[in-house]
Chain A
């Protein structure tokens, strides 16, 4: 069978005249801007995939003097590194995307929450932001951007934890609802969007929704920036059309010996070779914030699972019991099975525990630990036991 070639796209990294797009957008009404984004079908690129146009609409419809735009540049999901590259290569597009969002929802302040691991970007970003803020002032558009830094906590990428952190508290996720669009940063309506989402929104504001809709599938419109790592001869950052099968993906990026692919980072799913053909990368199949990790047959899936669990055990904020204790027990549990201290059937207990974590945890971190856990155990049970 001949394989489809994967379509490479260049919307994100293409250099554009961002000020011309800004002028064009500032002359439109916020309804028009939002309708275009809704029509395009753009969904959040940070992982959760919420429709961006709707998010903006909710924030816009809130009656409040003060609203905020936040650009989520916390990028902590293992295997994800595209936001750093976007901020490095096209910072003006990110800033302009924030201004477009500000115009759409009626906010006058925007913040970039940048993870501390990317502090080396600060001097460059500060300079770009100063210039940009001055331009906005000249244009008499009431909006300005500032940066806030993280301090090495993965959970602060979760939107409400990020806001707690910006407010000066421990980065512990809040209960939802209320959602940030009604009560976000400092209790005000806030639209929080991933770096990549904001750039796509800018490109849709520039080129119209049609070109975006023509890419991808019904559920997964457009393209997406992928962070590809692991056992691959072509590790790196690629913008690809959504809706490809994993088989096509592996044919393009694998090393010929790919046994599994982890889609969506540590909190995503592990797909084994036998399912490559039937797996679609996108919201109708397995969604991803961009992380694609390839493993070839030289890798021990036990080590990989252990690494993931260790990651979650360290990064759990500890606020709720199912996640705090659950992460520890899953890690201890698989180690015990591996060492023969517990029988293989103990894995079923652990899988039940991970189901409980999915139901009872407060935020996406605890809720998604079961994704890698169950998908690795179901596909590679022997490797975990022996």
Chain B
């Protein structure tokens, strides 16, 4: 019987983009250097990405999975649990109007329709220029001063339609 010679050829698939890191990959790596690469570093890293990018893109989640040696599905599965870890693109400014009971009683519906009119967007959507997303949130912890809204991390209490228009106008000026 002739001896079979097996020849193994090791193929290097060269990915031309792999030598440099994209901006997101670089960012994720920096966060992992800072927060560590253990499982309990996952939330702080995802939160940092959302803080900077406003949402978790597929690219970001793949990068996080790679840095922390997790499956991408696991990263997505974790992120998708949390309302504030958005996995769809959001505007530069995220408006969250409190929809829960006391704010509802104190007129949050009027606040929402005011913003919808002013920015010409529907609740739950993002303006076409990418400057604003308008969302609702559950109780924000200011019920004695309802209605309230968060714009990014900033809180606005006892808002009226007039006051809301002013606040949004300020953000319009600030965000080019």
Within 8 A of B (CB), among A304-347: 304, 307-308, 311, 314-315, 317
Check B27 for interface membership: any CB of A closer than 8 A: no
Give the CA-CA distance A15 to B62 in the complex, in Å: 48
Chain B residues within an 8 Å CB radius of A83:
141
The reply to whether A229 and B40 form a contact with Cβ atoms under 8 Å apart is no
The reply to whether B144 and A117 form a contact with Cβ atoms under 8 Å apart is no
- Shortest distance between the CB of A228 and any CB in chain B (Å): 7
Chain B residues within an 8 Å CB radius of A236:
144
Q: Which residue of B lies closest to A303 (CB)?
A: B104
Within 8 A of B (CB), among A49-101: 75-81, 83-84
Give the CA-CA distance A184 to B17 in the complex, in Å: 43
Give the CA-CA distance A152 to B43 in the complex, in Å: 12
The reply to whether B100 and A307 form a contact with Cβ atoms under 8 Å apart is yes
Check A227 for interface membership: any CB of B closer than 8 A: yes
Number of interface residues of B (CB under 8 A): 35
Check B129 for interface membership: any CB of A closer than 8 A: no
Mark B124-155 against chain A: 1 for CB-CB distance below 8 A, else 0.
00000000000001111111111000100111
Q: Which of A117, A230, A231 contacts B140 (CB 8 A)?
A: A117
Chain A residues within an 8 Å CB radius of B46:
151
Mark A159-176 against chain B: 1 for CB-CB distance below 8 A, else 0.
000000111111110000
Supposing A168-B41, A314-B138 touch, asked if A79 and B78 sit within 8 A by C-beta, the answer is no
**Most chain B beta carbons < 10 A, residue from A119, A120, A303:** A119
The reply to whether B40 and A293 form a contact with Cβ atoms under 8 Å apart is no
- Shortest distance between the CB of A159 and any CB in chain B (Å): 16
Q: Which of B38, B83, B100 contacts A151 (CB 8 A)?
A: B83
Give the CA-CA distance A237 to B143 in the complex, in Å: 11
The reply to whether A78 and B143 form a contact with Cβ atoms under 8 Å apart is yes
Q: Which residue of B lies closest to A266 (CB)?
A: B101
Chain A residues within an 8 Å CB radius of B102:
78-79, 229-230, 293
The reply to whether B41 and A81 form a contact with Cβ atoms under 8 Å apart is no
Chain A residues within an 8 Å CB radius of B155:
120
Q: Which of A115, A153, A228 contacts B81 (CB 8 A)?
A: A153
The reply to whether A153 and B139 form a contact with Cβ atoms under 8 Å apart is no
- Shortest distance between the CB of A55 and any CB in chain B (Å): 23
Query: Chain A, interface size: which category?
Result: 35 or more
The reply to whether B138 and A154 form a contact with Cβ atoms under 8 Å apart is yes
Check A137 for interface membership: any CB of B closer than 8 A: no
Give the CA-CA distance A317 to B140 in the complex, in Å: 19
The reply to whether B141 and A153 form a contact with Cβ atoms under 8 Å apart is no
The reply to whether B105 and A230 form a contact with Cβ atoms under 8 Å apart is yes
Check B28 for interface membership: any CB of A closer than 8 A: no
Chain B residues within an 8 Å CB radius of A8:
none
Chain A residues within an 8 Å CB radius of B41:
168
Check A211 for interface membership: any CB of B closer than 8 A: no
The reply to whether A79 and B143 form a contact with Cβ atoms under 8 Å apart is yes
Supposing A149-B47, A166-B40, A168-B78 touch, asked if A229 and B141 sit within 8 A by C-beta, the answer is no
Chain A positions within 8 Å of B, measured between CB atoms, are 75-81, 83-84, 115-120, 148-154, 165-172, 186, 227-231, 235-237, 266, 293, 299, 303-304, 307-308, 311, 314-315, 317
Chain B positions within 8 Å of A, measured between CB atoms, are 38-44, 46-47, 77-78, 81-85, 100-102, 104-105, 137-146, 150, 153-155
| Given A76-B139, A151-B84, A166-B40, 12 more pairs with CB closer than 8 A | A117-B150, A148-B43, A149-B44, A151-B82, A153-B83, A165-B43, A171-B82, A229-B102, A235-B144, A293-B101, A299-B105, A304-B101
Question: Please, could you name 19 A-B residue pairs with CB atoms under 8 Å apart, sorted by A?
Answer: A75-B141, A78-B101, A84-B142, A116-B47, A120-B154, A151-B85, A165-B43, A168-B78, A170-B77, A171-B82, A172-B81, A228-B144, A229-B102, A229-B144, A231-B105, A235-B145, A236-B144, A293-B102, A315-B138
